[in-house]
Amino acid sequence: MRSKERIREEIWRLLEDKGVARFPGARGRIPNFVGAERAARKVLNLDVWARARRIKINPDSPQRPLRELALLQGKFLYMAVPRLWELRCFIELVPSKLKSLERAASTIKGAFRYGTQVHPSEMPKIDLVVAGSVAVRRDGARIGKGGGYSDLEFAIGRHFGLIDENTPVITTVHPLQIIDREFEMREHDIPVDFIVTPEGVIATDTAFPKPSGIYWGLLDEEKIKTIPILRELRGIS
């Protein structure tokens, strides 16, 4: 069984070697890939997308086209503040307030400018989650970029009742990011229900359970102290 870090390095190198990683390169991030716009349009064919009114989407570059499409379709969009560095750790984007600014608002800088930062306790229930990935398997197992923030955002959503076991999770990736290697899925790791590439959609029918909340025992105390929402929940001043 290979380590997640080794798989990340292999995928980052593969995407760069094949010339499908966009600026500023794949390494160390959720890699932006050639075809991200086409993958975003493929998502629109999913029933879970059509039904969703409130969507949480990661703030990484390859999912920017999907954030724009969500806003253009009148969906309420929630993005996490990078690294959850503020107590009001999500940004709410309301389509009716944007008036042709959807593209600008779909960027991190634009979201801060045109959106409103909200505390999780102020958010409505989320209908759909979009998570960025470095690598995924067809059974729904997912590897992120290694910081653990996407998993933590999901866990916070579970803690506040915004997300439940039945909330669908989608990821958009380049086909080269789909792997068949074995790696460990722990209780805090988010599995995905749908993998979407520029070529089409894969329904994973995943058997992996979704995280049920915040697993405090798996969090480093120093990390807890640097994230305001965790400090609040732990009662740390």
State the pLDDT confidence band at 237, using cuts at 50, 70 and 90: low
Q: What DSSP string runs through the chain?
A: ---HHHHHHHHHHHHHHTT-BPTT-STTSS--BTTHHHHHHHHTT-HHHHH-SEEEE--SGGGHHHHHHHHHTT-EEEEEPGGG-SSS-EEEE-GGGTSS-HHHHTSHHHHHHHSEEE-GGG----SEEE---SEEETTS-EE--SS-HHHHHHHHHHHTTS--TT--EEEE--GGGEE-------TTPPP-SEEE-SS-EEE----SPPP-S--GGGS-HHHHHH-HHHHHHHT--
Was domain 4-234 assigned CATH 1.10.10.10? no
**pTM of this structure:** 0.96
Convert the pLDDT of each residue in 139-182 to its tens digit: 999 999 998 899 999 999 999 999 999 999 999 999 999 999 99
Convert the pLDDT of each residue in 4-44 to its tens digit: 999 999 999 999 999 999 988 899 999 999 999 999 999 99
Convert the pLDDT of each residue in 37-75 to its tens digit: 999 999 999 999 999 999 999 999 999 999 999 999 999
